Amino acid sequence: MIETVHVDDHLIVVDKPAGLLAVPGRGEAGRDNLATRVAAAFGDALVVHRLDRDTSGLMLFARGPEMQRRLARAFAEREVDKRYVAVVAGLLADDAGTIEAPIAADWPNRPRRIVDARGQPSLTRWRVLSRDEPCDASCAPPTTRVALEPHTGRTHQLRVHLAWIGHPIVGDRLYGPAAPQSAAARLMLHASRLAFVHPARGERVVFDSAVPF
């Protein structure tokens, strides 16, 4: 099943559920993925970008190679406005900020990534949407809901950057603590907005997806 947000002759926008691979993976389990489902419904659909398996939200597909080239170029040249919403562990002290830290592969612990001076330059902007009220030890650990704008598009960038500043995304079993945040039913990260200039019409288009948590 595909939850389609927008379809025209040039592109397709769909809402990916958490837990579904964006593209084919290894083995039998990797055969079911969003790209395969979309291609089955739209024979000319081609992948433009990816989301992590456990991230939900908007994914863009091109219709045909020429549209794929144009849209991929827009991503590469940072002409696509990508926004996410996440719930992170702890209470962020500031209301907004920027995380600028290079990211590299953690080769002995793949698929993990790490902040490393030899890595690729990576920049994330964040803004607090709401915070839990302070509470005593009998309450659940406090969290902060944040809006995120990745200026670069590194693998696991948002997850790595937030863990690096001491506020891992709730439900992140790869970068979060063993408990209690990792006990959440899902990774609390959702791709909520895509905005860009339509590759054929030349007009700016904006697509939004309601946050499911």
User: What pLDDT shows up at residue 183?
Assistant: 59
User: What pLDDT shows up at residue 179?
Assistant: 53
Residue showing tokens 């997806």: 209
All structural domains of the chain with their residue ranges: 3-208
User: What pLDDT shows up at residue 75?
Assistant: 96
Question: What is the CATH superfamily name and number for domain 3-208?
Answer: Pseudouridine synthase (3.30.2350.10)
CB atoms within 10 A of CB 129: 14
Cβ atoms of 52 and 156 within 8 Å: the answer is: yes
Q: Which long-range contacts (CB under 8 A, 24 or more apart) does 69-77 make?
A: 70/199, 71/11, 71/196, 71/199, 72/48, 74/196, 74/197, 74/199, 75/48, 75/49, 75/153
User: What pLDDT shows up at residue 30?
Assistant: 76
Active site residue 116: no
DSSP-derived secondary structure letter, 134: P
Residue 57, by phi and psi: left (phi above 0), alpha (psi -120 to 50) or beta?
A: left
Which one is catalytic: 52, 94, 136, 208? 52
HSE-CB of 22 using CA atoms within 13 angstroms: 20
CA 208 – CA 193 distance, rounded (Å) = 5
pLDDT 10s per residue in the chain (213 long)? 899 999 999 999 999 999 999 999 887 777 899 999 999 999 999 999 999 999 999 999 999 999 999 999 999 999 999 999 999 999 999 999 999 999 999 999 999 999 999 999 999 999 999 999 877 777 788 999 999 999 999 999 999 999 999 999 999 999 997 655 455 789 999 999 999 999 999 999 999 999 999
